[in-house]
A = this chain, B = another copy of it.
Amino acid sequence: MAILTVDMRHGRTDDQKREFAAAILDAVSEATGEPREQVFLIINENRGINFIEFGQHLPEYVDHASR
């Protein structure tokens, strides 16, 4: 069992989360041989300002184009 946590800004649509999760489950399953159903993922969300990267607080996530 692989348990992954990803820290991301609020704002992705449910569809974007589904697409994101599917890509990770496939990738981890293929790389480790674990069945997809044995790959757990937690998407941990916070506001943009809660992420400080390269010395900068991130802006809130804006979905520029629907997927």
Contacts and interface: CB of A to CB of B under 8 A. Distances in A.
* Number of chain A interface residues as a range: 35 or more
Nearest to A44: B46
A56 to B, nearest CB: 8
Copies of this chain in its oligomeric complex: 6
Interface string A37-65: 10111111111011111110110000000
A17 B51 contact: no
B43 A46 contact: yes
Interface of A: 1-8, 14, 16-28, 30-32, 36-37, 39-47, 49-55, 57-58
Q: Which 4 A-B pairs have the closest CB atoms?
A: A27-B27, A23-B31, A43-B50, A23-B27
